[in-house]
Structure 1
Amino acid sequence: MKELTDERLMAEVAGGRLDNLKILFERHHVHVYNFLYKMSRDRMLSEDITQDVFYKLMKYRGSYNGGNFVSWMFTIARNNLKTHYRRNHADNEDLSVLEYRVTDNDEEKTEDYSHLQKALAKLDASDRELLVMNRFQEIKYAELAEITGSTPGAVKTKVSRALKKLKTVYFENI
């Protein structure tokens, strides 16, 4: 079973073989959690939404149309995070901006990444999201295009521009 592609496993889940969802969970829950954590900086929220993503994969398995599984899964993760912020931060005018928190916990601070985390926090949510998915989660441009509803060329350009912004912000205070 482990040699089956994600798409084949999800097709089987959609067909009623729910036990295959365990394999998909084992393959991808860390990636989903890491993406959500890098966007929200909230461990408990990231754990909750990660569980909800896999619950929704099971609940809406009939809507899986055989496309790229990772793109579909990350689209669900993005939408869940946005929904959370929309519901719980209703006083914010700009719902597209996801809060990016830099924590003060000693265990989470490392010399190597604290400056990078602060620089990421200064970027727009859309730029930060693209960089996290592309550079940290290693999602390819074609998959990012599916997730964001864009074209691979446009995503590549956006990632390049976001990297330039990050570089400027990163080296501002060194």
Structure 2
Amino acid sequence: MPAQLKHIQSIASLTDEALLVEFKKQNDQQLLAQLYMRYTSLVYGVCMKYLKDAEAAKDAVMNIYQELLTKLQTHEVDNFKSWLYVVAKNHCLMQLRKDKKMQIVEFTPTVMQSEDFSHLDDVLEKESELKKLEFCIEHLPDEQKQSIQLFYLESKCYNEIVEQTGYEWNKVRSLIQNGRRNLKICMEKNG
């Protein structure tokens, strides 16, 4: 039996944990690829659930693999399958959030120039709402304010906020939920 085939078979028999340890030691992408291949259907399923498009899901599966190359260098992973599920989910949510920001506006030549200034009322109303929102954000407790700003204004996912703030994942989730609720109350009170 050729040496290469024996090597592949020995890699295939390793546990997830052993493959992770060896990947971190050797930085051998073949080890990570072997581990990732075990869970590509799981990742694809998660991506289909969130992205609802086969081509986008396939692209996401490839992009997530690329993310793993860097993330695994800095993260301690106890249960690869669970951790990968969360990485895939967060990747898809970030993709959806990014896609929402890119709005396509149709060009309508007849609307380009007009002597009607009623659109300024909308602008002033939105500006007023933004000022209220800024006021309410500033009056949140510090931890909620920081979490809300990182999540909504800087588009960070929960895991990135955990890394940046040192808070536990559940605390970040709670701070964002409570912050959102407090913002709604403040906006209604100052409405």
Q: TM-score, normalised by structure 2?
A: 0.45
TM-score (norm 1): 0.49
Structure with more of its chain in helix, by fraction? 2
Q: Which has the higher contact order (CA 8 A, sep 6+)?
A: 1
